Structure 1
Amino acid sequence: GSGSLRAPMPGLVKLVRVGKGDAVIKGQPLLILEAMKMEHTIAAPHDGVIAEIATEGAQVTDGTVLVRFFEEQAISIAVAS
């Protein structure tokens, strides 16, 4: 599972629960996005390793990349070497 996770709406990154390099599992909460006075938990869409994640306190717009995952091949190469 590679790729990125984008903000579904404009908002504020209220809380970041994981960091760069962390291995996550599908469904694991990654961050809390506050939008329209409500908190939305953004969860991992698949198992993977975090390449980049939004900064706590960041204002984001609709479509902003919140989380980027490492490519699967990069993970297996890193583990193999």
Structure 2
Amino acid sequence: MKIVIGVPSRSKALHRLYPMASKGKYQLHRGDVTAKERKKGGNFKLVDTIEEAIDLINKGWHPRMKNIETGGAPDIISPERIKVLEFPNE
């Protein structure tokens, strides 16, 4: 089992990668675009699996992650502030 965690520079709260509740997919954004441009076609991707999301994170895409510490709004997290943890399936 893989878990992706991150801490944004702004809020410092712990975040975890979850599929979006509304779409059931992981959402990632290009890191070289402004907040306004993120929603335009080609600047974001929706993927089905955590493995696909991790592959895009490794290529520089920024995932939208859920705040698990305070329950606040999701944030876009830079790949440099993310850790992928892997646990054995038993």
For normalisation by structure 2, the TM-score amounts to: 0.27
Question: Could you say which structure has the higher strand fraction?
Answer: 1
Looking at secondary structure, tell me which structure has more helix per residue. 2
Question: Taking structure 1 as the reference length, what is the TM-score of the superposition?
Answer: 0.29
